[in-house]
Amino acid sequence: MGCHPKDTEKHEETPKLEATTPLHENTSVFKEYVCQIHAIRHIEIRALERGYLQNIFVDEGQWVRQGQPMFKIMPNIYQAELLKAKAEANNMNIEYLNTKGLADQKIVSPNELALAKAKLDKAEAEVKLAETHLGFTDINAPFDGIMDHLAARNGSLLDEGDLLTTLSDISKLWVYFNVPEAEYLDYKAHKQSNTPTQVRLRMANGEIFNQTGVIETIEADFDNTAGNIEFRATFPNPDRLLRHGETGTILMEKPYPNAMLIPQKATFEILDKTYVYVVTSEGKLEQRLIHIEADIPHLFIVKDGLKDDDKILLEGLRKVHSGEEVEIAFKAPEKVRSELELYTE
Q: What is the Cα 211 distance to its own chain's centre?
A: 12
**Single pTM value for the model:** 0.73
Distance CA 49, CA 159 (A): 7
For 303, other C-beta atoms within 10 Å of its C-beta total 13
Apex CA 77: angle with CA 75 and CA 80, to 5°?
Answer: 105
Contact 197, 215 (CB under 8 A): yes
User: Long-range contacts of range 40-44, CB-CB < 8 Å, 24 or more positions apart?
Assistant: 40/169, 40/170, 40/171, 40/172, 40/173, 40/174, 40/234, 41/143, 41/145, 41/167, 41/168, 41/169, 42/166, 42/167, 42/168, 42/169, 42/244, 43/142, 43/166, 43/167, 44/163, 44/165, 44/166
Confidence bin at 6 (pLDDT 50/70/90): very low
- Mean pLDDT value across residues 242-256: 93
Residues comprising the chain, all counted: 345
User: Does position 343 have pLDDT exceeding 80, yes or no?
Assistant: no
Give the Cβ contact number of residue 240 at 10 Å: 10
pLDDT in tens, 208-226: 999 999 999 999 999 888 8
Q: State the pLDDT at residue 13.
A: 54
- Strands 273-279 and 285-296 turn out to be antiparallel
